Structure 1
Amino acid sequence: MIRILFDSRRKRWLFVWLLLGCLLFQQIAWLWSDFSWHGLAGMALASLIYAIAMQCFFAVTFDRNAAVRVQQTLTLPLALPVARDMVLAELQARYGRRVRVQGDSHFEVRTACSFKSWGEYLSVDLAEAGVVATRVYLCSRPWLRLTLIDWGKNRDNVKSMVRVLAQRGKSGL
């Protein structure tokens, strides 16, 4: 159980930041009271317990393979103009006016802020993979460059687009 909590560098850094944040918060409150070694030891123990509890809570929601930037390639059995129209229609249906068309085969979207993140950039690149096939390259990265943990939001963006495009590509819509 404990090994799962600290099996990646990001989880260890999250634990360190939680511990330091808790210690800092308690120290601010502690400065207004009298100094005692018992108080210092109790504060350190409470911070450690809090950080371990929060690490256990976040380990449940933390994707073990959570990468800040998620990329995936998909090949659709459609010609490039048909695939371009389908991708543009899907992006506009999901994200509305936030879709930016850059060239014939590159689209970018800035998603809205949510509980999990400050927003992401989703980019879609299209390229011919044959006469009647199109290669779709999807990339999702956080809007805020300082993001260390994205809680799987970028992976969700890419997975949902791949699922819908593959489904629509098979049906030929």
Structure 2
Amino acid sequence: MDEFVFEPRLDAAAMKAFAHPLRLRMFSVLSNGGPATATGLAERLGESTGQTSYHLRQLERHGLVEEDTSLGKGRERWWRASSFSMRKRAGDATAPEVAVLRSAMVEDAAATMQAWLSDDAAPQVWVDASLEQSTTAILTPAELAVMNREVQKVVDRHTSAGSGREAELREADSTKLRRIRVYYYAFPLPQD
């Protein structure tokens, strides 16, 4: 069996909190659509503001969302998804909460990619800038680890340029600035 390692490290209580269906949906909305208030999340998800407020506090308690102080005015609180990565680790049994999270992440990735691939109205400039790629290679574990570290450094370098640009994104022409998603999976294929 395998265990998943989260970076930053999420303890069992955080994984259990995150595995709640509404919290997963809320995190997905915040990840895909950017910061929102509890009221905005409630409207988008067909829930009450009381429900979304409660679940945002639970997610915040475990470091899965954080307040975006650059957007709030007065008592209005805006929330954004926190970033984390998940790695598989051989040895221990997978907790049910981790299985739920893993499944939700795969479903969200598939739905997000399908939405992009089905968007016939996407501006050509974004179509030209995007990439859908699948590559198969024969590598040692050490080579795979080195490749993953190098790719992560490149992704971190480029995505850090976008931090703190929420206000700019709200005012920008969508042909010039958009929220982007990077999916990168590099793992051994099952043996025959």
TM beyond 0.5: no
Q: Going by fraction, where is strand more abundant, 1 or 2?
A: 1
| TM-score, normalised relative to structure 2 | 0.23
